[in-house]
A and B are shown apart, each in its own frame.
Chain A
């Protein structure tokens, strides 16, 4: 047997171990597998490569992609990643640990999750947060299930049409197989319609509604009256939010929401073709026991020292099995650490500044695009870093021209609008260069 760097066994080791076990060959260890299921063919896999060849291979693959200047959002935002973060998250004590089941030797993981929960609560204003979800859309799907689990005998959840397309799609998928009925609250003048919500509540079957804080057209929603309408109807109010923007915007708690969910990718996680990101989920004290996923709590050890443990586990799949609120077990723990380190570095002031820089850049671009005469306003409602315009040129052609010039922007919405997004990473030079390209579009 030729040596392989991940297998430490020598021929002698194998022989001695087989002797101890009392069998003659490695194949004897698989004598319980029926002979026709032991794979005898050649595996159709690439030849084993050396480490250098692997590196060269991926460098070659990376070169086949084109990195664009990102002026788009739609659920994935190009915010800056401070260099401290990957340095910390690549520490192998964090990276190569399992879920913190043995709390005595997992205090590192448990503490940062407790900090993550605290920061999610700080941003959302809500009482309790879990240790993370896969991503924003699946967190929204869990919020839908939580609404139904909390409301006895009601089975409809309302979704705003202002939710991102992938959020709606994932929630629809979960709803279909959970047997939950979904209905849509329409957008009116670019905002989720309170009148439509009130109309839909009349059915008496509504367990909850999921409404974005900032919708897919980039508009900051005014959610006055939503909580009252839903609570009067005995339904829960779940808000889908961008946690970065929550550093300045009215919090889900201030809007009267019972549940907040969203994707924390905006807190310094690279785009990385869509993942890994990290979903978050928070709720009021009243709904704590229905919150899915892992939760870390503070405890005291037998010598009275402060320590942290996985708590309220009786809600979870390994104990409740089919009666659990959710089936989630692995989440996105390391990405929760990523976000926790990000928020520690930024602090309240840094978060305000990121939003200010993004806001200013986005509004500069917005004004300049209107000046080109190639776009029309779709709304006068306020926006932060992402906005929609009605194109007076062919949208697809616009996107293509931008792409060829090295920019990714002008994402086309279902109404045929185009959206742009500017984060603190975009410089004036980059914005002006893109504007120069757009000015030439016929």
Chain B
């Protein structure tokens, strides 16, 4: 990767253009609109030619790391390979030209895809119905919690305003609950990383709408007591919500619907191989049990019917996977995670010794190289050093249960050779830390930039090109 320091605005020259539009066929134009309704000055947009645009964005792309560039062991993000046939299908002009409101009789193929997706996701998860409106995982969570509240409201039970969330939960869980008007009650984890059933019991009552669970949880551990938890929550009149962020190890292995979950979301951009796009678009369909089907169908939480383009990609993946290959997906994801865990626990602290699912958490280096005189290398330093070796970093400082958390998720699409190479580098980094932590603390050394001063950036924010001119 090489450093490239332009913004598109800096390539601009008055009078240059990059568009190609037809000649006017009719008289008139926006000059006929009263001046009181028009902007005073043209917007500050760049004036560049087509080749400027292509080179600029190609140069930008070369400062980016993606799954196609290299191994991306980012915990809880399921950075599996994004098949190229998916892209080909989503780009078919015959789908791109469809207006979301055009008459149903012209959309038979679209309807078939949604129906087939619902049927497939139901088979994989054990839920009965799906809504495809949510555009991302957090959006799915929010939609799912709205379904939970609506269920209680329709029964006339308005006292249920609390939702229970484990202390190991993704940050989105409490945030989604709050947006949905629910108060958050935290249930503790035990030393083995699993939800403490004894701590849960007294929290349940007539004011509890339900519980949000991630299973396996953010430590990559399967919540073995799920049967008992489901029974307790249901007995207390609550519903169980399944956060599908960690569904990947259960793909072809186990179904949340069978465990007693009433509502769940899936991240099609994780479990179902669609690309993350640098932070979206994703898709977060929500599955529900039989009795919640009508409510799920009623809730309008996005513009039309969700990110259709992403749903097309996910269905292409399901067709490639089929009933024959699905059985191996989750198992291989767990195999890869356990293999890395067992191979590196001699150099990195493993706080919980247990078989993991698709991911696991280390709590920093065993020997960070720290002495009386100098600080040891932190998880952040390890992460930054990995960039030098051509790897993306794991998720760091999450979950919050450990101070030096380093969450690693390899996914099933990585080969033993890729994992072995990563393991070698992680050992090499541990050795470097023990010898001289400064090597890590100064990392990355080979990336397009070194570490930025984020504090200065947050104190005096420059958030658009126009601000830059003001500062200088």
Check A48–B322 contact: CB distance below 8 A.
yes
Q: Which residue of B lies closest to A89 (CB)?
A: B277
- Residues A220 and B383 in contact, CB atoms below 8 Å apart: no
A54-86 near B? 1/0 per residue, CB < 8 Å: 110111111111111010101110101010101
A61–B112 contact, CB under 8 A?
yes
In the complex, A193 has a CB within 8 A of chain B:
no
Chain A residues with Cβ below 8 Å from B139 are: 134, 138, 328
Complex alpha-carbon distance, A27 and B327, angstroms: 11
- What residues of chain B lie closer than 8 Å to A274, measured between beta carbons? 100, 303-306, 308
From B116, B281, B355, B461, residue with most partner A Cβ within 10 Å: B281
Docked CA distance A105–B67 (Å): 12
Chain B residues near A328 (CB, 8 Å)?
A: 136, 138-139
Stretch from B38-46, B235-243, B364-372, B424-432 contacting the other chain: B38-46
CA–CA, A340 to B465, complex, Å? 13
Whether B451 sits at the interface, judged by CB under 8 Å, is yes
Task: Decide if B266 is an interface residue (CB 8 Å cutoff).
Answer: no
7 residue pairs of the A-B complex, CB under 8 angstroms, read A88-B57, A166-B304, A247-B42, A299-B457, A330-B136, A348-B42, A360-B26
**Contact among B1, B62, B452 for A301, CB-based, below 8 A:** B452
Question: Beyond the given A67-B97, A97-B65, could you list 9 further A-B residue pairs with CB under 8 A, ordered by the A residue number?
Answer: A5-B320, A65-B108, A93-B65, A122-B45, A273-B107, A273-B308, A275-B281, A318-B398, A321-B184
Whether A46 contacts B319 in the complex (CB less than 8 A), given A105-B64, A272-B96, comes out as yes
Residue among B43, B48, B178, B324 making CB contact with A351, cutoff 8 Å: B43
Q: Establish whether residues A94 and B21, one from each chain, have CB atoms under 8 Å apart when the complex forms.
A: no
Interface status of B206 (Cβ within 8 A of chain A): no
A331 touches B136 (CB 8 A): yes
- How many contacts A-B (CB < 8 Å)? 693
Within 8 Å CB of B34, what residues of A? 382
Which residues on B sit within 8 Å (CB–CB) of A33? 222, 224, 253-254
Interface size class of B (residues with CB under 8 A): 35 or more
Cβ–Cβ < 8 Å partners of A319 in chain B: 171
* A205 interface residue per 8 A CB criterion: no
Contact between chains at A48 and B64 (CB < 8 Å): no
B249 CB to closest chain A CB (Å) equals 8
A152 contacts the other chain (CB 8 A): no
Residue-wise interface mask of B (388-429) relative to A, using a CB-CB cutoff of 8 A (1 in contact, 0 not) = 000011000010000000000000111110100000000000
Which residues of chain A come closer than 8 Å to B307, judged between CB atoms?
A: 275-276
CB-based contact B39/A251 at 8 Å: yes
Bound together, the chains give a CA A408 to CA B466 distance in angstroms of: 41
Contact B278 A271 (CB under 8 A): no
Instruction: Assess the B310–A276 pair: CB atoms within 8 A.
Output: yes
Given contacts A94-B277, A348-B47, contact A302 B451 (CB under 8 A): yes
| Residue in A94, A277, A384 whose CB lies within 8 Å of B66 | A94
| B457 near A95: Cβ-Cβ < 8 Å | no
Q: Which of B87, B383, B447 is packed against the most chain A CB atoms within 10 Å? A: B447
Q: Which of A29, A125, A306, A334 lies in contact with B331, CB distance below 8 A?
A: A29
Residues of B145-168 whose CB lies within 8 A of A: 145-146, 149-150
- Residues of B with C-beta under 8 A to A27: 331
Asked if B28 is at the interface (CB within 8 A of a chain A CB), the reply is yes
Q: Contact check, B61 vs A93: say whether CB atoms are below 8 A apart.
A: yes
A88 touches B45 (CB 8 A): no
B191 CB–A CB distance under 8 Å: no
Quick one: which of B303-353 are within 8 Å of A by CB? 303-310, 312, 316, 318-329, 331-332, 334-336, 338-339, 342-343
| A20→B452 contact, CB < 8 A | no
Taken together as a complex, chains A and B put the C-alpha atoms of A331 and B276 apart, in Å, by 10
Q: Is the CB of B279 within 8 A of A411?
A: no
Query: Which B74-115 residues have C-beta < 8 A from chain A?
Result: 74, 77, 79-83, 85, 87-89, 91-92, 94-103, 105-110, 112-113
Kindly state the separation between the CA atoms of A341 and B56 in the bound complex, as whole angstroms. Answer: 10
In the complex, per-residue mask of A100-127: 1 if CB is within 8 Å of any chain B CB, else 0 = 1111111111011011011101110101
Contact across chains for B300 and A170 when beta carbons are under 8 A apart: yes
How far apart sit A78 and B99, CA to CA, in the bound complex (Å)? 8
Q: How far is the CB of A383 from chain B (nearest CB, A)?
A: 9
Whether the Cβ atoms of A311 and B457 lie closer than 8 Å is yes
Contacts A93-B61, A327-B175 given; indicate if A2 touches B461 (C-beta within 8 A): no
A6, A9, A251, A278: which contacts B81 (Cβ < 8 A)? A6
Query: How far does the alpha carbon of A134 sit from the alpha carbon of B42 in the complex, in Å?
Result: 27
The 8 A CB mask of B372-394 against A (1 = contact, 0 = none) is 00000000000110010000110
Any B CB within 8 A of the CB of A45:
yes
Nearest A residue to B310 via CB reads A276
Q: Does A211 contact B (CB under 8 A)?
A: no
Binds B, one of A172-180, A194-202, A387-395: A172-180
Contact indicator A55/B85 (Cβ below 8 Å): yes
Given A65-B109, A305-B5: A249 and B331 interface contact (C-beta under 8 Å): no
For the complex, count residues of A whose C-beta is within 8 A of B: 207
Contacts of B80 in A (CB 8 A): 6
Residue B189 lies at the interface, judged by CB distance under 8 Å to chain A: no
- Complex Cα distance, B86 from A55, in Å, reads 9
Partner of B43, one of A123, A177, A314: A123
Contacts of A254 in B (CB 8 A): 39-40
Residue of A nearest to B134 (CB): A134
Q: Is the CB of B94 within 8 A of A62?
A: yes
B413 x A6 contact (CB < 8 A): yes
Q: Does A397 contact B (CB under 8 A)?
A: no
B60, B299, B387 pick with most chain A CB within 10 angstroms = B60
**A51 interfacial contact with B, CB 8 Å:** yes
Q: Are A353 and B61 in contact (CB under 8 A)?
A: no
- Tell me, rounded to whole Å, the shortest Cβ–Cβ distance linking B405 to chain A: 13
Q: Once the chains bind, are A348 and B452 in contact (CB under 8 Å)?
A: no
| A51-B85 contact, Cβ under 8 Å, with A7-B332, A251-B39 | yes
Contacts of A125 in B (CB 8 A): 39
Contact A135 B302 (CB under 8 A): yes
Closest 6 CB pairs of A and B: A48-B322, A274-B304, A274-B100, A334-B277, A356-B29, A64-B109
**Is A375 interfacial (CB 8 A cutoff)?**
no
- Asked whether A132 and B280 contact (CB < 8 A) given A43-B123, A98-B74, the answer is yes
Report whether A8 and B413 are in contact in the complex, using a CB–CB cutoff of 8 Å. yes
Task: Check: A439 CB closer than 8 A to any chain B CB.
Answer: no
A302: chain B residues within 8 A (beta carbon) = 450-453
Q: Find the A residue at minimum CB distance from B451.
A: A302
> In the complex, A295→B146 CA distance in Å?
27
Expressed in whole angstroms, the Cα–Cα distance for A112 and B277 within the complex equals 12
Q: Does any Cβ of A come within 8 Å of B180's Cβ?
A: yes
The residue on B at minimum CB distance from A91 is B61
Q: A278 vs B282: C-alpha distance in the bound complex, in angstroms?
A: 12
Q: In the complex, how many angstroms separate the beta carbon of B302 from the nearest chain A beta carbon?
A: 6
